[in-house]
Structure 1
Amino acid sequence: MKIYETTGFPNPLRVRIALAEKGATNKVIFVPVDVMGGEHRTSAFKAKNPDATVPLLELDDGTCIAHCNAITEYLDGIFDGPSLTGTSPKERAVIAMMNIRAESGLMNAVGAYFHHATQGLGPDLETWQCPDWGSKQKEVAQLTMIYLDGVLTESDFVAGNRFTVADITAYAGLVFAEFAKVEIPENLRALKAWRDRVAARPSING
């Protein structure tokens, strides 16, 4: 199978971490996509993914799966190792809920700030911007950081007592936030301690 990605981008990072957690990094072929050059908007790429986004998973039978959550769901199901998406109905629901909160409130909010309230990827790619919306989403991201800090005061990980896809999403969101200069409020000690623990995992630091 192939994974189309752009190195250094936050969403491809999520899939890279998931693969490493499953011990499956060497079981896929990574195909670079030149986003800065607009390759993701070409007809050839959009024939595989009409959303024109990376990452994209292409299976051996030609099936193409876009969006991190869908990709991780597939990878988690076919590779051995501890489940990232949960095993019981309750666990899967809690993990999915927390993953959505981390994605919507942090990852996507930082993305909206970066693409709308800063220069983003430059004028050739940022063809429409709404700075007020971007600035509002920066506030959303920092409120989500406060929420996650409260969660991590009570539990070791974002969705309970073990590492899951929700932690991957939240960690990648903080990496993106640091790049976009969306600061973690100084008093969020639990969130910062969790970030440091996650950053030391072999799937990220290895």
Structure 2
Amino acid sequence: MLKVYGDYRSGNCYKVKLMLHLLGREYEWVPVDILKGETQTPEFLAKNPNGKIPVLELDDGTCLWESNAILNFLAEGSEFLPGEPRLRTQVLQWQFFEQYSHEPYIAVARFIQLYQGRPAEREEEFKVCQVRGYKALKVMEQQLNRTPYLVGEHYSIADIALYAYTHVAHEGGFDLSGFPAINAWLARVASQPRHVGMLD
């Protein structure tokens, strides 16, 4: 059986959990506490030398890491990853956007506020995250004003990748009330068959 090493509160881990539920795949969840240093043990580093979650362990013991790479692996051959090269590239485009322009600000602001209680020594960083996070949300809003999902008419792993931290952006101090297209998209994603919540 597949094993997922992760933290339920992590958006990156949630991507993998959501994908597995959408596919109806069975898996075992192995909790890992990053705040206790559990990703830095020799045992964990043998699974992911980069010392981060999530990690997907396959039946043969092979371990895959980086959440968006795992999404691509799991979605191969499914409705969630288009086969047509242009559309597939657009999925990758949004996944790269998520990791470089969205997650470093939306997720980090959430970590500073939710996990750390917004300490004074990180206040300037928090403010930078707000500015750059809102910039990323505006990019999403522009696309979602044109199409129901990030890559056209069909729900894909591009949406899963960006839903993970966008739907909890308020926990990092972001106000989504000015983003009607994003809010409509969040509702569409949550209404998908076999959808599961972050903490379910």
Q: Are 1:103 and 2:99 an aligned pair? A: yes
**Distance (Å, rounded) in 2 between the aligned partners of 1:21 and 1:114:** 26
Question: What amino acid is the match of 1:66?
Answer: W
Q: Are 1:177 and 2:169 an aligned pair? A: yes
Which 4+ runs in 1 deviate beyond 6 A?
Answer: none
Q: What is the deviation of 1:198?
A: 1.2
Q: Are 1:21 and 2:12 an aligned pair? A: no
Structure 1 unaligned spans of 5+: 124-128
TM norm structure 2: 0.86
Matched-pair contact (CA < 8 Å) for 2:21–2:196: no
Q: What is the deviation of 1:102?
A: 2.9
- Residues 19-48 of structure 1 show CA distances to partners (whole Å, capped at 9, x for unaligned) of 122221x2x222111223221121211121
Counterpart secondary structure, 1:203: coil
Match of 1:52 in 2: 51
- Residues 43-74 of structure 1 show CA distances to partners (whole Å, capped at 9, x for unaligned) of 21112112211110112222211111111111
Matched-pair contact (CA < 8 Å) for 2:167–2:186: no
Question: What amino acid is the match of 2:34?
Answer: V
Counterpart secondary structure, 2:168: helix
1:60-79 aligned within 5 A: 60-77=59-76
Number of aligned residue pairs: give it: 194
Partner residue of 2:90 out of 68, 72, 94: 94
Question: What amino acid is the match of 2:160?
Answer: I
Counterpart secondary structure, 1:65: strand
**Distance (Å, rounded) in 1 between the aligned partners of 2:9 and 2:83:** 31
Match of 1:152 in 2: 144
Match of 1:143 in 2: 135
Identical-pair percentage: 26
Match of 1:35 in 2: 34
Change (3 A) 1:196 1:36: same
Higher relative contact order (CA 8 A, sep 6+): 2
Task: Name the stretch that deviates more: 196-205 or 129-138.
Answer: 129-138
The alignment yields a C-alpha RMSD, in angstroms, of: 2.3
**Distance (Å, rounded) in 1 between the aligned partners of 2:180 and 2:115:** 31
Counterpart secondary structure, 1:31: strand
Change (3 A) 1:163 1:2: same
TM norm structure 1: 0.83
Q: What is the deviation of 1:130?
A: 5.5
Structure 2 unaligned spans of 5+: none
**Distance (Å, rounded) in 2 between the aligned partners of 1:203 and 1:70:** 22
Matched-pair contact (CA < 8 Å) for 1:4–1:33: yes
